[in-house]
Amino acid sequence: MTRTMTRTIISARAVAVALLLVAAVPAAAQQVASVAPPIPTLKRAITVADGLVRIGDLIDNAGEAADTPIFRSPDAGTTGSVTVQQIIDAVRPYHLYRIDTQNITAVEVTRSGRIIDAAEIEARIARTFAGRYGLGEAKNLRVTLDSMVQPITVDAAPTTDLALIGASLDPRTGRFEISFAVPGSVATRRLPLRLTGIVVETVETAVLTRALARGEVIRSTDVALEHRPKAEASGEPITAIDQVVGLAARQAMRAGQPLLRTQLMKPELVHRDDTITLVYEVPGIVITTRGKALEPGALGDTIAVANVETKRTFQGTVSGPNRVTIVATTTRVSAVAAAMPQSVASR
């Protein structure tokens, strides 16, 4: 086969391929043209999260116009409706003509929300006054409202809060007046939420859960930590239960009474007029005898005692239950021996 014939065959094949491609283009174009775009379809009910209703909220397959706002939504937590004709009129400027309305006459529109209850409102008031008018941290402020407050619905976002409009407080009485705007509510933008009441600073302090007699030792179950008005907590408050467990009451105390350090003492191990053991110590010698307590005392207290036999009095240190120790130098050993002629034990 000559070179000329080969070139002729290749050219013929190329022409044939080109003709096939030209024939395929109209067929592909016809197939693409046969796939119709999705029809915009109206929804029966929708839920929105903010103050605007967009075309895509109401109509599926709205295309490029989906993010366009066309209506205001109802107040947070409420439901309203919009007629089909209102929707068609609103979307007409955005070239949405063929809409499948599914025989709907109106679309139900709900705006989501979350509830702010009375406790959250009181906490918001405490945050407002914290650090002002001589008050401390919000966690230590107790708010009491003059009237009951119904729960309020606001936008669903967890960061949504009551918006402060104005606040005033009388530091002498703690009485306040405060106004808030409620996000997502057209009504409260026109008529703000106004509240009055009293705010009191509190401190956490130990409080008795039962009545105690004088000298009774405090157990862990006898005490609880509560927030009480700061004005009632004179002196240094007790802020931990373990600070009082094992101590005793200096006087009778009632249940619910805040505890003060001045009201507590170490438990009395010796009571007035008790018969006690007197222990007289000098270097190398211990002398014990019976004695009588002339005054009460806790561990480590110095109290007056008397030797029952000699009637002599001494100052000694409470060293245990019904036990008082008298420590002396060697220069007084003979006097001690004469005053306390009882059992002697050498160390």
pLDDT of residue 298: 86
pLDDT of residue 162: 86
| Residue 338: both structure tokens together | 């004469």
Percent of the chain with pLDDT over 70: 81
Average pLDDT (308-333) is: 81
Model confidence band, residue 189 (pLDDT cutoffs 50, 70, 90): low
pLDDT of residue 35: 67
- Is the pLDDT at 41 greater than 50? The verdict is yes
d(CA 274, CA 266): 18
pLDDT of residue 346: 41
3-state secondary structure of 58: helix
d(CA 122, CA 197): 10
- Is the pLDDT at 333 greater than 90? The verdict is no
Average pLDDT (201-226) is: 91
pLDDT of residue 164: 92
- Is the pLDDT at 310 greater than 50? The verdict is yes
Contacts of 64 (CB under 8 A, 6+ apart): none
Model confidence band, residue 185 (pLDDT cutoffs 50, 70, 90): low
Residue range 84-93, pLDDT digits in tens: 999 999 999 9
Alpha helix stretches (DSSP H) within the chain: 3-33, 55-58, 84-91, 118-129, 186-190, 333-339
Amino acid sitting at position 344? V
pLDDT of residue 330: 53
Model confidence band, residue 327 (pLDDT cutoffs 50, 70, 90): confident
d(CA 321, CA 186): 75
DSSP designation for 100: B
Domains and CATH numbers, the chain: 41-112 (2.60.480.10), 116-195 (no CATH), 203-265 (3.90.1210.10), 269-346 (2.30.30.760)
Average pLDDT (191-197) is: 90
pLDDT of residue 10: 45
User: What is the residue-averaged pLDDT of the chain?
Assistant: 83
Lowest mean pLDDT among 41-50, 142-151, 202-211, 257-266: 257-266
pLDDT of residue 231: 79
Residue 261 has phi, psi (to 5 degrees) of -60, -35
- Is the pLDDT at 344 greater than 50? The verdict is no
Instruction: Count CB neighbours of 282 within 10 A.
Output: 18
pLDDT of residue 329: 62
- Is the pLDDT at 43 greater than 90? The verdict is yes
Model confidence band, residue 146 (pLDDT cutoffs 50, 70, 90): very high
CB-neighbour burial class of residue 281 (10 A; exposed 0-12, middle 13-18, buried 19+): middle
- Is the pLDDT at 28 greater than 80? The verdict is no
pLDDT of residue 98: 86
Quote the longest CA-to-CA distance of the chain.
154
pLDDT of residue 181: 87
Average pLDDT (242-248) is: 90
- Is the pLDDT at 230 greater than 90? The verdict is no
d(CA 143, CA 124): 10
Nearest of 202, 158, 160, 197 to residue 179 by alpha carbon = 197
Average pLDDT (242-256) is: 91
- Is the pLDDT at 59 greater than 90? The verdict is yes
Average pLDDT (180-185) is: 76
Residue 168 or residue 287, greater confidence: 168
Contacts of 319 (CB under 8 A, 6+ apart): 279, 299, 325
| Residue 171: both structure tokens together | 């530091």
